[in-house]
Amino acid sequence: MDDAAPSVSLQKRLVFLRQRFAQAEIARKTGFSRNNVSRYMRGTRVPLDFGSALVTGLGVNPAWLLSGAGTALLADVTADTGQMAGNLLELVEAMDAVAQMRLGSLAGKEHAKMLRELNEALLRHEALRSKLNARSREIFRQLLADVRAALGRMDLRRAVELLKAAEQVSRLSDDEELMLDFKALQAHVLFMQRHDDEALKLQRQVFMRTVLRAESFNEESCAQVLRFALMLNEHTDGDDALRVARAGIALCDQNLRKTQIFAELSFFAGNLLALRGDLHKGLAIMQRYLPLAGERRALVGRTFVVRTQLLAGLMDLPTACTAMPPIPPGGEVAARFAMLTENPRDLEAALKFASNVYSKDELGDSKVKRHLDNLLAVSRGGQPRVKAAAYFSKERPEPGARAFPDVFDYAYFGQLGKALGEHAASAALLGEAHACLLKYPRLRRADFMIAGTTYRTVMQLPESAMPPALRKYAAKFIERHVRKGFLALAQAISDAKGRPG
């Protein structure tokens, strides 16, 4: 299908659709005016966009629209499966007959005729396949572009619908580039649907094919590397994500290093580097590439830069709350840093920032806000402290009682218990948090502030309350990270001296 007048066979298929559907329905479901639909049905030039709209809006089978193969509608494809299976069975049986021939009998006339007919059938098949591939290429490319546009608008429902149509067209395509793009978009959609294992498996395949074709590494290849690294960081060990990001960076030539996607990949690598302990080097990379990143990623990127500056002791939280954009990642950073320092000024700043980020309903359901409120209440004493003690007694998790332990709850209820002077209960909860962090190293690396809060609180409890081995581990954790530049942790311990608990 192109901008030329439709062929006779295509015109017949368009007439069939006109007889099957009302013209008004075709116009409504394709988004084309009734006048244009009427013109296309009468035999004028048919644009590619109209063919794509018939597939995605009306549910037309793209294979039927292009070549007449199969049934007219995608919903009827299963009805055609029996006939297709029969045709395939005949081909398999013919090939099986050839495979059973003995080499010595190939001279026989019947066998020679069978081989000749099979060869001619295969040649016709290849010619048809080539023709279908050529006709389907542009529709396939347009469908993939539409999927990408839908994802850019965060319209997941539309992206899923378009992918279903693209999957039908993919069966007619031999274009490796388009098939790779199709797999990448499938992985992206699965990731957004939270089908993490399937998404990671597909994205790994895309990544491997991308790396193996290093001679054609381009901006799209770089984007696939970044997406794979993001998935790895969220669902597996961040060390693998950093290795993947570095591999992608190494494959970029001088021209690619001037692009926005290279800046975003480099920024992500810097962020991972900072979280893994090389704080100042990671921060320098992030600051270098943040101005070159795209607007949407730069918004979250600013939050990550501020978080790193906070951890390095280069900025206090009230200042950070004026530097971060009012988005949920910023609210999370402010809240967790306030809990790390346990400074009343920081707790108040985090609560104020949260009120600018979240709705009243979201704040009402937020356990993070409840922790902030109760820690602040303890510092104020009097009746607020009494209410915080009642909250701790009623809501704290029982150690070992959960099938799926929540390190956040254990760490922060342990902190609240310490602030209230409930040393035995606090020690038990912190012991559970420590067990979670040991069992899931990714938590310790990906969210330093939870680990930092856990081990800072351990060191604040009386020595008699904590097992010596845990105190020793906490002391080494703090010493190691302060040496790497996490000066906010040293400052938090210093500021905590003299406060209750």
Q: What is the pLDDT of residues 336-379, one digit of tens each?
A: 999 999 999 999 999 999 988 888 777 766 788 888 999 999 98
Instruction: Supply the pLDDT for residue 113.
Output: 61
pTM: 0.66
Per-residue pLDDT averaged across 183-198, rounded? 84
The answer to which of 188-202, 217-231, 318-332 has the lowest mean pLDDT is 188-202
Q: Tell me how far apart the alpha carbons of residues 373 and 376 are, in angstroms, rounded to a whole number.
A: 5
**Percent residues over pLDDT 70 in the chain:** 80
Q: What is the DSSP string of 472-497?
A: HHHHHHHHHHHHTT-HHHHHHHHHHT
In the block, which residue shows the tokens 């081990």? 455
Q: What is the mean pLDDT of the chain?
A: 81
Per-residue pLDDT averaged across 8-25, rounded? 82
Asked if the model's pLDDT at residue 93 lies above 90, the reply is no
Query: Which has the higher per-residue pLDDT, 194 or 273?
Result: 273
Q: What is the DSSP string of 252-269?
A: --TTGGGSHHHHHHHHHH
Q: Tell me how far apart the alpha carbons of residues 218 and 475 are, in angstroms, rounded to a whole number.
A: 47
Instruction: Supply the pLDDT for residue 142.
Output: 84
Q: What is the pLDDT of residues 222-261, one digit of tens each?
A: 988 998 888 888 776 678 889 999 989 998 999 999 999 9
**Do residues 499 and 379 lie in contact, with contact meaning Cβ atoms separated by under 8 Å?**
yes
Residue 445 forms part of a structural domain: yes
Phi and psi angles of residue 60, each rounded to the nearest 5 degrees, phi first: -75, 140
**Token code pair at residue 386:** 């009494």
The answer to which of 154-163, 424-433, 492-501 has the lowest mean pLDDT is 492-501
Per-residue pLDDT averaged across 192-200, rounded? 81
Q: Tell me how far apart the alpha carbons of residues 178 and 171 are, in angstroms, rounded to a whole number.
A: 12
Domain range enclosing 367: 326-496
Q: Tell me how far apart the alpha carbons of residues 344 and 335 are, in angstroms, rounded to a whole number.
A: 12
**Do residues 497 and 319 lie in contact, with contact meaning Cβ atoms separated by under 8 Å?**
no
Residue 10 forms part of a structural domain: no
Per-residue pLDDT averaged across 187-213, rounded? 81
Total domains in the chain come to: 1
Residue 118 forms part of a structural domain: no
Closest to 450 in 3D by CA, of 404, 409, 484, 479: 409
Query: Which has the higher per-residue pLDDT, 352 or 203?
Result: 352
Contacts by 170-177, CB closer than 8 A, 24 or more apart: 170/140, 171/63, 172/62, 172/63, 172/66, 172/67, 172/132, 172/133, 172/135, 172/136, 172/140, 173/133, 173/136, 173/137, 173/140, 174/129, 174/133, 175/133, 175/137, 175/140
**Percent residues over pLDDT 90 in the chain:** 30
Coil, strand or helix: which one is 293? Answer: coil
- The CA dihedral of 27, 32, 34, 36, to the nearest 10 degrees, is -140
Q: Tell me how far apart the alpha carbons of residues 298 and 306 are, in angstroms, rounded to a whole number.
A: 12
Q: Tell me how far apart the alpha carbons of residues 466 and 428 are, in angstroms, rounded to a whole number.
A: 9
Instruction: Supply the pLDDT for residue 240.
Output: 86
Instruction: Supply the pLDDT for residue 7.
Output: 61
Q: Tell me how far apart the alpha carbons of residues 396 and 410 are, in angstroms, rounded to a whole number.
A: 8
Residue 359 forms part of a structural domain: yes
Instruction: Tell me the C-alpha to C-alpha distance, in Å, between residue 331 and each of 118, 211, 354.
Output: 68, 37, 5
Residue 126 forms part of a structural domain: no
Instruction: Supply the pLDDT for residue 309.
Output: 94
**Do residues 342 and 415 lie in contact, with contact meaning Cβ atoms separated by under 8 Å?**
yes
Instruction: Supply the pLDDT for residue 23.
Output: 85
**Do residues 67 and 135 lie in contact, with contact meaning Cβ atoms separated by under 8 Å?**
yes
Query: Which has the higher per-residue pLDDT, 469 or 397?
Result: 469
Closest to 353 in 3D by CA, of 361, 343, 363: 363
Residue 409 forms part of a structural domain: yes
Burial readout 120-136 (b: 16 or more C-beta within 10 A, e: otherwise): eeeeeeeeeeeebeebb
Instruction: Supply the pLDDT for residue 112.
Output: 60
The amino acid present at 172, given as its one-letter code, is: L
**Radius of gyration for the chain, computed over Cα atoms and rounded to the nearest angstrom:** 31
Residue 130 forms part of a structural domain: no
Closest to 372 in 3D by CA, of 401, 331, 407: 331
Residue 483 forms part of a structural domain: yes
Q: Tell me how far apart the alpha carbons of residues 372 and 393 are, in angstroms, rounded to a whole number.
A: 16
Report residue 115's pLDDT band, with 50, 70 and 90 as the boundaries.
low
Q: How far is CA 284 from the centre of its chain?
A: 26
